[in-house]
Amino acid sequence: RTPSGNLRKTWTREWRRWALSRDLGDALSNRALEMEFGAVERLEREAAGLAAAVAEEAGRPRWRPYVDALVRLKGVDVQTAFLACAEFGDFSRFRSGRAVSRWIGCTASESSSGEADRRGPITKEGSSRLRRALVEGAASMPRRNGRPKRVRPGHEVSPAVEEMAAAANERLRRRYERLRGAGKHANVARVAVVSEMARWIWAIGLQVQRELAAA
């Protein structure tokens, strides 16, 4: 672990150098190891290129006000913010936060038999790409604290958006802690947080739309 208590990344440069320096006992095995690492490095370069292309597009006037606002949410990076903008399209097309939760597929499925109603797993309907990105972003929930997210220089947002994002970050953190404290499995708590996070994304998107319309 790092001095701060976080898990160290396993695929560091030092670890790769160490792994490639191992002798597996025969030339063929050593060659296979080199090829495996080469394939991983090619995929990493491709992923970095795609991330750079998304960041460039996200900086265009059409997207930048929304992306700058949404990345104020913890667990949301530029790529996820851009994906949210693309998937939501027009934020005003949703009339309620509940409709957003249904669209993101994080509401519990229901089945009825006679007078009995049973709740099952989440529906997983709607935008699977955004739901998956938000669930992955929520993996950092156990390590979050009350400190505000650092502002990227040159990407400041309005006081209203800043206030909304701060409220969202604090509420989501506390909700996760309450669910875990009540004995809920970590994955269940994460999905519940993602359902509410999607609503905050919608609310912040609407706020940005209003600010742009009034400008």
Looking at the structure, tell me whether residues 101 and 201 fall in a common domain.
Answer: yes
pLDDT of residue 199: 95
Q: Which two tokens stand for residue 156?
A: 């400041």
CA distance 199 to 160: 16
Predicted local confidence at residue 150, as pLDDT = 85
CA geometry: angle 114, 109, 133, nearest 5 deg: 180
Task: Please identify every stretch of the chain with a pLDDT value under 50, giving residue numbers as ranges.
Answer: 1, 4, 109-114, 116-117, 120
Distance set, CA 73 to CA 99, 117, 148 (Å): 21, 35, 9
**Phi, psi dihedral angles at 113 (to 5 degrees):** -140, 105
Q: Are residues 81 and 50 in the same domain?
A: no
* Same domain membership, residue 149 and residue 97: yes
Regarding whether 132 and 47 lie in a shared domain, the answer is: no
CB 104 within 8 A of CB 127: yes
Last residue of a domain, one of 43, 58, 73: 58
pLDDT of residue 117: 44
R_g over Cα of the chain: 21
Domain that holds residue 68: 61-214
- Spatial distance between the Cα atoms of 215 and 205, rounded to a whole number of angstroms: 15
Tokens of 15: 């670890």
Domain boundary among 58, 74, 101: 58
What is the pLDDT at residue 46? 94
10 with 32, same domain? yes
Looking at the fold, whether 66 and 53 belong to one and the same domain comes out as no
In terms of domains, do 199 and 94 share one? yes
Do 68 and 151 lie in one domain? The reply is yes
Count of the separate structural domains present in the chain: 2
- Give me the pLDDT at residue 88, please: 93
Q: Are residues 95 and 46 in the same domain?
A: no
Answer yes or no: are the C-beta atoms of 44 and 178 closer than 8 Å: no
Last residue of a domain, one of 58, 75, 102: 58
Q: Are residues 29 and 81 in the same domain?
A: no
The whole-number pLDDT of residue 16 equals 85
Strand partners, 112: 117
Answer yes or no: do 73 and 162 share one domain. yes
Q: Are residues 178 and 151 in the same domain?
A: yes
Which pLDDT score is estimated for 108?
Answer: 58
Name the token pair of 125: 């309907």
